[in-house]
Chain A
Amino acid sequence: MNDPQSPPESPLDRFINAAGFNPRDWTAHMNANGHSGFIGMQYRDHGDIWIELGFDWREDLVGDPDTGVLASGPIISLLDNATSMSVWTRVGRFSPQVTLDLRIDYTRAATPGKSIVARAECYQVRRSMAFVRGIAHDGDITDPVAHAAGIFMLVDGQEWVK
């Protein structure tokens, strides 16, 4: 029903109401602004339970100015987003969730100048929790820069946004 008093549908409303989940579309609309937009996250690929996002090396994302090695903050953010989106990719729709915990092992420093890619998958979903894991690399997934494991809590949509 179209209520003339209701505000126009926002991109988020559109994803909440959508029948399926399109990771490319989500990245283009929801990751263009805010923190994800600042990091410059881009959609790369996805499958039935996994998704790949990436961002390019930039001087203002550096953590060690002596070497040009990226800060690990942007890598946490990328793995957080990619693992989060892997849940919606697996269940085939957007549903509100929050990060309960996220553990990241830094297997080596990222090579300065190289783009970072995160491949994340949701390997189990329960009624109130989704279990995820992910790998971040800078070109060769068999030589990763970071490995992540986390849990998302599925929450009530009313509290999810302000």
Chain B
Amino acid sequence: MKSTELPPYARAMGMELAGTDDGSPVIAIDFSPRAMGRPGFFHGGAIGGVLEMAAFAALSAELERQGVAVRIKPINISTEYLRAGLPERLYARGEVVRAGRRVANVRIEAWQSDRTRPVASCWMNFLLSPKTP
């Protein structure tokens, strides 16, 4: 997956690329019934899906910059839900803390109208392996 391509799940959920910020793609999603959990709010899993997509996109962009062609697989994710996801547009952006030879560590944040009041904070680890032809 290139950093500028979103997979079927992300497109079906209505996620889109909303530009880049300091080299990392920003993923955006409008509130919709498909993203709703308890009535009137984003589902925690939908927020998790957006956070993961932002992590993938940030890591893919970083690896493209380094000119490294590897497969990336998620190892784990840990999410803190800080505020309720309101029925309005939600954004997420990842920051690659380290991309080594075998493992990459990414921090991700999601926010809505006020970026200083994050909705969720998250870290994700990835396994990097050589691309098999």
Query: How many angstroms between the C-alpha atoms of A27 and B12 in the bound complex?
Result: 22
Q: Do residues B75 and A100 form an inter-chain contact, with CB atoms below 8 A?
A: no
A129 close to B (CB within 8 Å):
no
For residue B46, which residues in chain A have a CB less than 8 angstroms away from its CB?
Answer: 35, 73, 77
B80 close to A (CB within 8 Å):
yes
The contact of A106 among B9, B45, B75, by CB within 8 Å, is B75
- Binding site secondary structure of chain B: mixed
Q: Do residues B53 and A34 form an inter-chain contact, with CB atoms below 8 A?
A: no
| Number of interchain pairs (Cβ within 8 Å) | 129
Q: Do residues B79 and A73 form an inter-chain contact, with CB atoms below 8 A?
A: no
Q: Do residues B9 and A162 form an inter-chain contact, with CB atoms below 8 A?
A: no
The contact of A103 among B77, B81, B84, by CB within 8 Å, is B77
B100 close to A (CB within 8 Å):
no
Query: How many angstroms between the C-alpha atoms of A101 and B12 in the bound complex?
Result: 25
Whole-angstrom distance between the Cβ of A25 and the nearest chain B Cβ: 17
B8 close to A (CB within 8 Å):
yes
B78 close to A (CB within 8 Å):
yes
A154 close to B (CB within 8 Å):
no
B99 close to A (CB within 8 Å):
no
Q: Do residues A77 and B48 form an inter-chain contact, with CB atoms below 8 A?
A: yes
For residue B76, which residues in chain A have a CB less than 8 angstroms away from its CB?
Answer: 103-106
A125 close to B (CB within 8 Å):
no
Q: Do residues B80 and A100 form an inter-chain contact, with CB atoms below 8 A?
A: yes
Residues B94-120 near A (CB distance < 8 A)? none
Query: How many angstroms between the C-alpha atoms of A108 and B94 in the bound complex?
Result: 23
A134 close to B (CB within 8 Å):
no
For residue B39, which residues in chain A have a CB less than 8 angstroms away from its CB?
Answer: 12, 34, 161-162
The contact of A74 among B9, B38, B74, B79, by CB within 8 Å, is B9
Contact A78 B45, CB 8 Å, known A60-B9, A63-B7, A63-B9: yes
Query: How many angstroms between the C-alpha atoms of A161 and B87 in the bound complex?
Result: 12
The residue in chain B whose Cβ has the minimal distance to the Cβ of A39 is B45
Residues B13-70 near A (CB distance < 8 A)? 13, 33-41, 43-46, 48-50, 52-53
Contacts A33-B36, A106-B75 given; 13 further ones with Cβ under 8 A? A34-B39, A37-B33, A70-B9, A73-B48, A73-B52, A76-B45, A77-B46, A81-B45, A101-B78, A101-B79, A102-B79, A103-B79, A160-B38
Point out residues on B near A: beta carbons under 8 Å. 1, 7-13, 33-41, 43-46, 48-50, 52-53, 73-81, 84, 87
- Show 28 residue pairs from A and B whose CB-CB distance is below 8 angstroms, ordered by the A residue: A33-B33, A34-B33, A34-B34, A34-B36, A34-B37, A35-B46, A37-B33, A38-B33, A64-B7, A71-B8, A71-B9, A71-B49, A73-B9, A74-B49, A76-B44, A76-B52, A77-B43, A77-B45, A77-B48, A77-B49, A80-B43, A101-B80, A102-B48, A103-B76, A103-B79, A106-B76, A161-B40, A161-B41
